[in-house]
Amino acid sequence: VKKFLNNPNDVVEEMLDGLIASHRSYLQPVGTSRRALVARNGPRPGKVGLVIGGGTGHEPCFVGYVGKGLADAVALGNIFSSPPPDPIVKCAVAASGGAGVLFVYGNYAGDVMNFEMAAELAEEQGIPIRTVLTTDDIVSSPVEDREGRRGVAGNFFVFKVAGAACDLGMTLGECETVTRKANDRTYTVGVALESCSMPQTRRHNFEIGPDDMELGMGIHGEPGVSRERVRTADEIVDTIMDNIFKEMKAEPGDRVAVLVNSFGATPLMELYILYRRVEQRLAAKNIEIEANWVGHYCTSLDMVGASISILHLDRQLTELLHHPCRTAILTINAPEADGAAKS
Amino acid sequence: VKKFLNNPNDVVEEMLDGLIASHRSYLQPVGTSRRALVARNGPRPGKVGLVIGGGTGHEPCFVGYVGKGLADAVALGNIFSSPPPDPIVKCAVAASGGAGVLFVYGNYAGDVMNFEMAAELAEEQGIPIRTVLTTDDIVSSPVEDREGRRGVAGNFFVFKVAGAACDLGMTLGECETVTRKANDRTYTVGVALESCSMPQTRRHNFEIGPDDMELGMGIHGEPGVSRERVRTADEIVDTIMDNIFKEMKAEPGDRVAVLVNSFGATPLMELYILYRRVEQRLAAKNIEIEANWVGHYCTSLDMVGASISILHLDRQLTELLHHPCRTAILTINAPEADGAAKS
Amino acid sequence: MSETAARALAQMFERMSGVIETEKDHLSELDGAIGDGDHGITMSIGFKAVTAALAALDLDSASPSDVMSTAAGGFLDAVGASTGPLYATGFRRAAQALAGRGHLDLAACRDMLAAMSEGIRDRGKAQRGDKTMLDVWMPAAEAAATAVANGRSKPEFWKAVEIAAENGAAATATMVATKGRAARLRERSLGHTDPGAASAAMLIKAMAAML
Amino acid sequence: MSETAARALAQMFERMSGVIETEKDHLSELDGAIGDGDHGITMSIGFKAVTAALAALDLDSASPSDVMSTAAGGFLDAVGASTGPLYATGFRRAAQALAGRGHLDLAACRDMLAAMSEGIRDRGKAQRGDKTMLDVWMPAAEAAATAVANGRSKPEFWKAVEIAAENGAAATATMVATKGRAARLRERSLGHTDPGAASAAMLIKAMAAML
Ligand SMILES: Nc1ncnc2c1ncn2[C@@H]1O[C@H](COP(=O)(O)OP(=O)(O)O)[C@@H](O)[C@H]1O
Ligand SMILES: Nc1ncnc2c1ncn2[C@@H]1O[C@H](COP(=O)(O)OP(=O)(O)O)[C@@H](O)[C@H]1O
Ligand SMILES: [Mg+2]
Ligand SMILES: [Mg+2]
Ligand SMILES: [Mg+2]
Ligand SMILES: [Mg+2]
């Protein structure tokens, strides 16, 4: 697999060079640590700080969600590896406005251990920490083991809600509660057609047969839950939506937000074809789409595949979803013109 | 090559279903034609209308650039095929506010013939038309044959400037002049590591050897200008920037806008590594980056590759670049909050 | 006789559509080598649209000219691309050349080929040797003119036209493209047959078989 | 004597780093089958950071405990991931177990292995049979305890520890993962050796060779 790379061992550091330079108007390193980045326009006294983070290789996740109205700081690890406690603590300190700090990250053994160690260290420094683990991948574990599920692209919605809650001045406890609700009401299923390849190996992490696809694929190139024959786009969406409908208790007239996300190499053309069917399936149940995003929001290097996430809205979540934010990749009801030409 | 598809012959129609549904808050079909889409918030009396368009397979180009402050209407063809005159004429009529309509599109034989036929038909209906062909691909033809060059990802900048000029109420002639200037000052070079594959064939359009890359690759899977051994990311950027510096008459202290664009399958991680080197090269010449975009802005289905575009700014272009716009994929200094949660 | 001529043209278009359908992948492959790989797809969509448009036409009352202009409209609205304006203009000019004619005699066929070739040339502003479909249509039209001038029989006429078309298509492999997408490849286009020339030769073969 | 023990530990870490470097691709491949394919890379970065941190340490004055806690810090700050907290905690506990000790006699080695294994267990909250590195460290620590209790010689001690580690690693192939990324694969993880267990057995082999 060919890639634009220099020394593969420098890939994360070089990406950080580019990323920090490119998003200079939104964020900056905390001190000299480039693995801890803080929003220029984020933390403020009295506001609960929102810290997100995880491994790299998911761009624009997580760094694209740092900015006014969304996350205050992000801690970044190596490719597909949780950051160590040190940058997470730095983020907590940088994000802290005296009202406590909320950690939101995906439920993976490595992330949990590192963020927990960081939470202990931050609390020793007098910063109250609450944590919400994202667990939106509904096929990664049966419903009896909801807390065992992993967090995937649906963290987009969970971050958005958490960022809005923090920005609105809610207390740490309130922020935690509503973020937990957002996570509980977010449902994601992913499908991969080809595995991703690490810069260091430039080989597929594993092989998916020429006529096969992997259902329930994780965002770290972990195998999914079952290997199946490739089917049509509509059949794939139907399988995904059937899984989601099995868990989501939506009534006719309910509203949802939809995210159709590329894992990296799947182009927009195909995402739109998937979105088309998602809309048909929701419309057939009289469920309305309040807002949608179609594109690259949480990738897995160069994986060929896509995921569909549905956030089952209620009045509070709808308000928080529409709350203004401005980050490198997400501007909603732009909070203020700031004179910088930025996408 | 595996893809999310139903019947490959329906791919464009199905994509349009999804795309129109997804971007409903920005645009709508002109009458019953789904190949002609008009901005909800675009055309207005007295304003020059901006019509863009081309083949599909380049998403988010061109449809992502339709909206307030940018293009008023877009005509879409089949994959990598110019739209026929009919939807282009429909776009011209829909975009017309009585002050004339500007056509901006890439310089390809097919597009030129179809847009010219459409221009004749629109003028017969009393709509004055001016045309600017984008020709930013500097390696596609020698400098003596500048007008023979093709338009690629740099049309991003040309569209942005044209949209701002129209929105500011400039006359048709003024809009044409400044758009032409933007095109003259935009320089793009692309490199492909793998060719794209059409939904109908699911085979690479052509093969690039396992250790090779294609310099000057077009955005329609056309072969580029030379086949070379794959080099490091920095070496590739150096080749591209050397080509650009050869033509761009930039002095120390000048300002530019930078676009690092994925051709489809190349992930953000690698784009940031390319951006890093672009910044280094510009910094070494004391050229400042006024704004930058890194991501998927003009793709070629699932091609593995990237392009670098530089817009050499002057005072007027800088102002037009920062002029507010709000489209499906580009919000700059958001013109107004509109209550819709949209990326 | 007018119905028969119109019907013959409609059947010719069906034959063309069939040939393109069979050769679709081959044409896309040729285009993949020096263009954007869609020529087979574009031609297939275009000729399907033509046969659909003709199916809606009342062939009992339509003139040959009506058939050609219906084909022009159907083709253009369905494909755009380079081929859309080129063939639509060619068919439209052929419609003009056939206006008022009920018979498809050799003179009519000669005039139709000349009109096609001029329409394509005027629309695309290419010249012979530019490595395009024109390198098929022009020699074919010339061969038709010569054959009529020399009083050739119908089979001889079409044989000459077909051979000129095939030679024209083959010759494009020795040309450096200067028009269309392939022009950017310059010398690298050498050795590859132009896809538009290849499909043009197929279309002419279909004409020869049906008229 | 204290310098010698510290130096021996530092050399042990260098050996570990060397082995991981050699087996990096193999470990990533194992992780690719049931995890995210980075285990070799993570371990390589981690042990390079450990040897870099130890290079900055004055081994003439450092105690064995200092070496272990320096290794813990270096490893953790460089990698994060699952292995970061697990090995950092293991090394930190080993540092505590070695505190005040200058000799690396078999009792010290036994206590160090026990501390490693407990640290990893406490941090990761896994149990034996969960298909993790613990399925190597626990039997290795137990084998060490038995060997000391039975008064085995140094070569016998390390042989027993190594065999226990290797058997433990091999046994993970027959287990269904319930911790870490592989847990989501459930039955599909069967037949695959756990990458963390495989690397743990390599680390223990390096210990056996150097201590
Ligand atoms: N200006 C022109 N004049 C005549 N023929 C042309 C011209 N430009 C392109 N062509 C023909 O069109 C063919 C390509 O057609 P097609 O692939 O369908 O369109 P596109 O180039 O838009 O993808 C070329 O092989 C060539 O024969
Ligand atoms: N809770 C845990 N307790 C013990 N070992 C664990 C635990 N979770 C994961 N592991 C070990 O970590 C290994 C994976 O390490 P690595 O690939 O470096 O980290 P990551 O899973 O973060 O990518 C697994 O093979 C397993 O042996
Ligand atoms: Mg990992
Ligand atoms: Mg084309
Ligand atoms: Mg073509
Ligand atoms: Mg791993």
pLDDT digits (tens, 9 = 90+) for B250-278: 999 999 999 999 999 999 999 999 999 99
From chain A, the residues in CB contact with D180 under 8 A are 109
Pocket test for ligand 2, best of A81, A112, A113 (most atoms within 8 A of CB): A81
- Which ligand is nearest to the Cα of residue B111, counting in written order? 1
Evaluate if residue B311 carries a pLDDT over 60: yes
pLDDT of residue B108: 94
**Catalytic: A220?**
yes
Residue extents of the structural domains in chain C: 2-210
D49 touches ligand 2 (CB under 6 Å) = no
In a mutational test of the B interface, the residue from C176, C184, C185 whose CB has the highest number of chain B CBs within 10 Å is: C184
Answer yes or no: do A194 and A58 share one domain.
no
Query: Whose CA is closest to B180, among B220, B212, B136, B219?
Result: B136
Residue A334 lies in a domain: no
Answer yes or no: do B174 and B199 share one domain.
no
Q: What is the pLDDT of residues A282-339, one digit of tens each?
A: 999 999 999 999 999 999 999 999 999 999 999 999 999 999 999 999 999 876 544 3
Nearest to B201 among C25, C123, C181 (CB): C25
Nearest CA in chain A to B300: A267
pLDDT of residue A336: 53
Pocket test for ligand 2, best of D44, D83, D116 (most atoms within 8 A of CB): D83
Number of structural domains found in chain B: 2
Q: What is the pLDDT of residues D102-144, one digit of tens each?
A: 889 999 999 999 999 999 999 999 999 999 999 999 999 999 9
- Which ligand is nearest to the Cα of residue C80, counting in written order? 1
From chain B, the residues in CB contact with A338 under 8 A are 333
- Looking at the DSSP assignment, which residues form a beta bridge with residue C104? none
Alpha-carbon gap: A219 to the closest alpha carbon of chain B (Å): 14
Alpha-carbon gap: A210 to the closest alpha carbon of chain B (Å): 8
B119 to A126, B67, B93: CA distances (angstroms): 69, 22, 11
Q: Is CATH 1.25.40.340 correct for C2-210?
A: yes
Contacts of C58 (CB under 8 A, 6+ apart): none
Mark whether C and B touch (3+ CB pairs within 8 Å).
yes
Interface of B with C (CB under 8 A): 55, 77-86, 108-110, 113-114, 117, 140-141, 148, 150, 195, 198, 200-201, 204-206, 216, 218, 220-223, 225
Nearest to A6 among B232, B267, B292 (CB): B232
Nearest ligand 1 atom to alpha carbon C43 = 18
- What band does B336 get if pLDDT is binned at 50, 70 and 90? low
pLDDT of residue C3: 53
D133 touches ligand 2 (CB under 6 Å) = yes
From chain B, the residues in CB contact with C25 under 8 A are 201
Residue A228 lies in a domain: yes
Percentage of residues of chain B with pLDDT beyond 90: 90
End-to-end CA distance of chain B: 30
Answer yes or no: do A143 and A220 share one domain.
no
Interface of D with A (CB under 8 A): 25, 28, 32-38, 41-42, 45, 76-86, 123-124, 179-186, 188
Answer yes or no: do B21 and B168 share one domain.
yes
Residue B336 lies in a domain: no
Residue of A23, A58, A296, A323 marked active site: A58
From chain A, the residues in CB contact with D185 under 8 A are 222-223, 225
Cβ atoms A325, A164 nearer than 8 A: yes
Answer yes or no: do B154 and B290 share one domain.
no
Provide the residues around ligand 3 (an ion) whose CB is within 5 A: A 80-81; D 36, 38
Q: What is the pLDDT of residues B15-61, one digit of tens each?
A: 999 999 999 999 999 999 899 999 999 999 999 999 999 999 999 99
Alpha-carbon gap: C6 to the closest alpha carbon of chain B (Å): 26
Contacts of B44 (CB under 8 A, 6+ apart): B97
Alpha-carbon gap: B337 to the closest alpha carbon of chain C (Å): 38
D44 touches ligand 2 (CB under 6 Å) = no
Domain boundary among A151, A185, A219: A185
Take residue B324 and report the two structure tokens written for it.
């507010």
C161 to A204, C109, D169: CA distances (angstroms): 54, 11, 77
Answer yes or no: do B157 and B306 share one domain.
no
In a mutational test of the D interface, the residue from A117, A219, A222, A263 whose CB has the highest number of chain D CBs within 10 Å is: A222
Helices (H), D56-129: 64-79, 83-98, 106-124
Evaluate if residue B107 carries a pLDDT over 80: yes
Helices (H), chain B: 11-22, 85-95, 109-124, 155-167, 172-184, 233-247, 268-284, 315-322
Instruction: Judge whether A238 is closer than 8 Å to chain B, CB to CB.
Output: no
Supply the DSSP symbol for C186. Answer: G
Residue A250 lies in a domain: yes
Answer yes or no: do B74 and B119 share one domain.
yes
Nearest to A22 among B59, B292, B332 (CB): B292
Q: Do A333 and B337 touch (CB under 8 A)?
A: yes
Answer yes or no: do A81 and A118 share one domain.
yes
Nearest to D181 among A85, A108, A204 (CB): A108
**Catalytic: B58?**
yes
User: Distance from the CA of D172 to the center of ligand 2, in angstroms?
Assistant: 13
CA gyration radius, chain C: 16
pLDDT of residue D208: 97
Going by alpha carbons, the residue nearest to atom 1 of ligand 2 is D124
pLDDT of residue C194: 96
**Containing domain of residue B211, as a range?**
186-313
pLDDT of residue A335: 64
Answer yes or no: do A28 and A177 share one domain.
yes
Q: Do C183 and B218 touch (CB under 8 A)?
A: no
Alpha-carbon gap: C202 to the closest alpha carbon of chain B (Å): 21
Q: What is the pLDDT of residues A262-292, one digit of tens each?
A: 999 999 999 999 999 999 999 999 999 999 9
- Encode chain D (211 residues) as per-residue pLDDT tens digits: 445 899 999 999 999 999 999 999 999 999 999 999 999 999 999 999 999 999 999 999 999 999 999 999 999 999 999 999 999 999 999 999 999 998 899 999 999 999 999 999 999 999 999 999 999 999 999 999 999 999 999 999 999 999 999 999 999 999 998 877 777 777 788 899 999 999 999 999 999 999 9
Mean pLDDT of A159-174: 98
Contacts of D87 (CB under 8 A, 6+ apart): D46, D72, D75, D76, D120
Query: Whose CA is closest to D28, among A79, C146, C200?
Result: A79
Q: Do A5 and B270 touch (CB under 8 A)?
A: yes
**Residue D190, amino acid:** L
Pocket test for ligand 1, best of C93, C133, C176, C199 (most atoms within 8 A of CB): C133
Query: How far is C-alpha B341 from the geometric centre of its chain's CA atoms?
Result: 25
Q: Do C80 and B114 touch (CB under 8 A)?
A: yes
Answer yes or no: do A12 and A159 share one domain.
yes
Sign of the dihedral defined by the CA atoms of residues C180, C181, C187, C192, in that order: negative
Nearest to B77 among C33, C81, C181 (CB): C81
Nearest ligand 1 atom to alpha carbon C38 = 17
Query: Whose CA is closest to A64, among A271, A311, A299?
Result: A299
pLDDT of residue C178: 81
B-facing residues of A in 298-327 (CB < 8 A) are 299, 301-302, 304, 306, 321-322, 324
pLDDT of residue B221: 82
Nearest ligand 2 atom to alpha carbon D31 = 17
Answer yes or no: do B132 and B165 share one domain.
yes
From chain B, the residues in CB contact with C82 under 8 A are 82, 108-110, 113
Q: Which residues of chain C have pLDDT under 50?
A: 1-2
Cβ atoms B140, B225 nearer than 8 A: yes
In this structure, the dihedral spanned by the alpha carbons of residues C28, C32, C36 and C38, taken in order and rounded to 10 degrees, is 10
pLDDT of residue C7: 95
D40 touches ligand 2 (CB under 6 Å) = no
A300 touches ligand 2 (CB under 6 Å) = no
Mean pLDDT of A27-53: 96
Contacts of A79 (CB under 8 A, 6+ apart): A11, A12, A55, A56, A57, A198, A199, A301, D38, D41
Answer yes or no: do A146 and A196 share one domain.
no
φ/ψ of residue C137, rounded to 5? -65, -40
